[in-house]
Amino acid sequence: MDIQVVRAARWLTCAAFLLLGNFSVHAQERQSEGAAVQGDAGSTLPQPQTVAPPDQMSAVPNRPTFSTTAESVQPGVLEIEYGFELADGHQNVNGLVKFGATGNLELRFANNPVERDMGVAGFGDSGAGFKYRIFRQKNRRPTFSVLYGATIPTATRQVGVGAVGHSAGVLASKDFGPHHFDLNETVQWVGRPSAGGFDRNYFSALAYSRGIRGKWGVTAEIAGFSWTNAANPATLTIMGAAVYNVSPRLILDCGAYVAAYGQLPRVTFFGGLTYSIADLYHRGLKRPNPARNQPPGRTENARSVP
């Protein structure tokens, strides 16, 4: 039953993404005609997840979804994502630090400084990895990236996995006019703390986002993990969130995800932020003009190891 549900979710996400490709030509025509989101003050706003001008610092959020956008942080930019989760029997504070080593290579470090599950609290596991963008979207072709992450067992006893793990995946992102989609397919090797070796699972996700009015945007996602072991069966979640652009460098989010299948809290509430701290290459990136705020895009999530 677990395997059938997850396989169905994976095929549905892939099929949906491929079908949307049939509309890409129409979307490109709309973009060439200057189809942009209009703010409530009448200002023209760029599309979600578009690449920022080279002289302007702009955040590239992975939050609030479990999936990861294929887009990369600007070269030289140090960016953070921090947030919290609240549910019955589960609470945490989660973080992700990203650095644009080059135009296509993003270095990533994640950690949960606070983790509490079923009354047991402590420091959570950490993770380190990278995302490499192979090519940007063009015509029918989406932005395509690969992602690798390693779990570092830093958690307090009985809180984390307690063993080193690995994950590798492919990421695709595509704009269709004002609509943005992210598709993830990832395999994870979860370490066994006592027996040695690894258990394996698969992660699939399809996320959607768009700006709706002024600085506001919305995000939705369906995501699931396959069966890992007897203690960690398959799961499937459905998420909805609101996103607010304070400025291109600072983006806030809040929302909830519902457990559609698996042993998870019925509803989990969350909130957080994404902030571009500084350009460490000192290339003279300008502070963004508030009048040019891009609509909130959607957003590897800080809640999971990269």
What domains, with CATH codes, occur in the chain?
2-292 (2.40.160.40)
CA distances from 192 to 15, 153, 251 (A): 34, 11, 37
**Amino acid identity, position 106:** E
The distance of Cα 252 from the centroid of its chain, to the nearest Å, equals: 14
Question: Is the Cβ–Cβ distance between 54 and 204 less than 8 Å?
Answer: no
Nearest of 305, 16, 238, 11 to residue 3 by alpha carbon: 11
| pLDDT recorded at residue 288 | 53
184 within 8 A of 168, measured Cβ to Cβ = no
* Sequence-separated contacts (24+) of 191-195 with Cβ below 8 Å: 191/151, 191/153, 191/161, 191/162, 191/163, 191/164, 191/165, 192/163, 193/153, 193/161, 193/162, 193/163
| pLDDT score at 280 | 94
Instruction: Judge whether 288 and 248 are in contact, CB under 8 Å.
Output: yes
244-280: pLDDT as tens digits:
999 999 999 999 999 999 999 999 999 999 999 999 9
According to the model, what pLDDT value does residue 285 have? 65
CA 150 – CA 95 distance, rounded (Å): 15
Helix (H) or strand (E) holding 30: helix 24-32
Q: What letter does residue 292 receive in the DSSP assignment?
A: G
Q: Distance (Å, rounded) from C-alpha 126 to C-alpha 271?
A: 20
What pLDDT was estimated at residue 12? 47
Region label for 303, one of left (φ > 0), alpha (ψ between -120 and 50) or beta (otherwise): alpha
Of residues 233, 179, 172, 178, the one with CA closest to residue 206: 172
pLDDT of residue 299: 38
pLDDT along the chain (306 residues), means of 10: 48 46 40 36 36 73 95 96 95 96 97 89 93 94 97 87 94 96 97 88 97 95 95 95 96 97 95 96 64 42 43
Q: Is the pTM of this model over 0.85?
A: no
Q: What are phi and psi of 259, to 5 degrees?
A: -80, 105
Burial tier of 203 (Cβ tally within 10 Å: 0-12, 13-18, 19+): buried
Measured in whole angstroms, the distance separating CA 94 from the mean position of its chain's CA atoms is: 13
The kind and range of the H/E element at 129 are strand 126-135
Q: How far are the Cα atoms of 2, 28, 138, 217, 238 from residue 25, in angstroms, in the given order?
A: 38, 5, 11, 24, 29
Contacts of 224 (CB under 8 A, 6+ apart): 5, 6, 9, 10, 203, 204, 205, 234, 235, 236, 237, 261
